[in-house]
Amino acid sequence: MAIGALGAAGIAASAVFGVQAALDDHTWSSAARTTTAPSEPVISSGRAGFLPGAGSPSGTGSSATTTAAGTATADQLVGVVDITTVLGYQDAEAAGTGMILTSDGEVLTNNHVIEGATSITVTVLSTGQSYPATVVGTAPTEDVAVLQLAGAAGLDTVQADDDGGAAVGDAVTAVGNAGGDPTSTSAAAGTVTSLDQSITATDETGSDTEQLTGLIETNADVQAGDSGGPLFDAEGEVVGMDTAASTGGAVQSYAIPIDTALDLAEQITAGVDDETVHQGLPAFLGVSVRTAVSGGAAVAGVVPDGPAAAAGLATGDVITAVGGTTVTSPGDLTSALSSYDPGDQVTVTWIDTTGTGHSATVTLAAGPAD
């Protein structure tokens, strides 16, 4: 995603400009995303701040009065975790929610909860125990990620729905780390208002558009920070993963059906690595870029001590090729890097500010989570 005004970090193999935008240094921040599409709402998703939204989606459903969020019960905390991340290239931190899938610490969350993270800490809410976590893999376009807790054993897991999923009119409760406060986990009651909904998500700058489909819509008062948390049915089983919510007009929140999220999680843990599912961390060149007037990817910033810096790239240079593939835009650079893994060597070609051409072989680093 674009880093606020190209202000930090760089190109990862599957992200246009690298990592998330932060609101303030050393504060809980959000990769808030809006959604815009004909007849669809403007939605935000993130960890500590929503963007304005308005409108309502097409399709049929029911409506009900929104109830203010309360505090989660002890039963609702079982298998639920707080996720805190350090966005090292932005000197910032962020927080979200996740669900324990296995007793040895496999955790399901939204991809945007850990996107841009250079380190991740997970706290099990039912015990207060914290663990460092690594990224097993991600499905960025589907907003799903799987983490692994280091040294975890004997953990209680969430219970996924096993009787057909959500239906319009069902009572549900969204549980999560609203506002990034680890001392008070919220529980927002609501009703399923529609199924199979589509939203077009962007980051807070209006770029990096992606579409999420097949979502559960509810009127639960989901807040930033709830992302990645469970949407419980009346039986206390998880029917969805909280993912996005509106902030204008009637409350509308959206969850990925748990069967969909679990299917992607199984692909991640099985080692699938394709256009949708990515293993581990992406390859990282270490630049932020913008479109060059003359074509190519103009370097707007270079990460100190990163691969690009080691090769001699500097602000103002224009990258024209990677691995023999011509680069005419920032998007081309992303596409060119997407076929590489951390540790791979690749030839980068660029033109400096004097018009002199250069070429160097760089070893790609492991970037922040994509």
Q: Is 143 a catalytic residue?
A: yes
Number of helices (H) and strands (E) in the chain: give both, helices first: 5, 24
Q: What is the pTM of this model?
A: 0.81
Q: Could you give the maximum distance between any two Cα atoms of the chain, in Å?
A: 67
What whole-number distance in Å separates Cα of residue 19 and Cα of residue 328?
22
- Round to whole Å and give the CA distance between 107 and 145: 8
Is 278 annotated as catalytic? no
Q: Do β-strands 28-29 and 92-100 pair in parallel, antiparallel, or remain unpaired?
A: parallel
DSSP string, 155-181: -----B--SS---TT-EEEEEE-GGG-
pLDDT digits (tens, 9 = 90+) for 323-347: 999 999 998 998 899 889 999 999 9
CA 350, CA 275: separation in Å to the nearest integer? 27
CATH class of 31-272: mainly beta
- Note if 227 is an active site residue: yes
Encode pLDDT of 210-223 as tens digits: 689 999 999 999 98
Beta bridge partners of 290: 298
Helices (H), the chain: 74-77, 111-114, 258-269, 307-311, 330-337
pLDDT confidence of residue 247: 62
C-alpha of 267 from chain center:
18
Same fold yes or no, 31-272 and 281-366:
no
Residue-wise pLDDT for 85-122, tens only, equals 999 887 888 899 999 999 999 999 999 999 999 999 99
Residues in CB range of 24: below 8 A, 6 or more apart: 92
Is 53 in contact with 34 (CB distance < 8 Å)? Answer: yes
Rg (CA), the chain: 20
Per residue in 217-269, pLDDT (tens digit) is: 999 999 888 999 999 999 999 999 999 887 666 778 999 999 999 999 999 99
Contact indicator for 19, 298 with CB cutoff of 8 Å: no
Give the residue, 274 or 46, on which the prediction is more confident.
Answer: 274
pLDDT of residue 175: 96
Domain 281-366 has CATH 3.40.1410.10: no
Q: What is the mean pLDDT of the chain?
A: 81
List the beta bridge partners of residue 97. 82
Among 112, 170, 186, 253, the one annotated catalytic: 112
The catalytic residue among 30, 45, 82, 143 is: 143
Of 14, 30, 186, 227, the active-site residue reads 227
Length reported for the chain: 370
Name, of 34-38, 42-46, 336-340, the range with top average pLDDT: 336-340
Token pair, residue 356, equals 């002199």
The residues spanned by each domain of the chain are: 31-272, 281-366
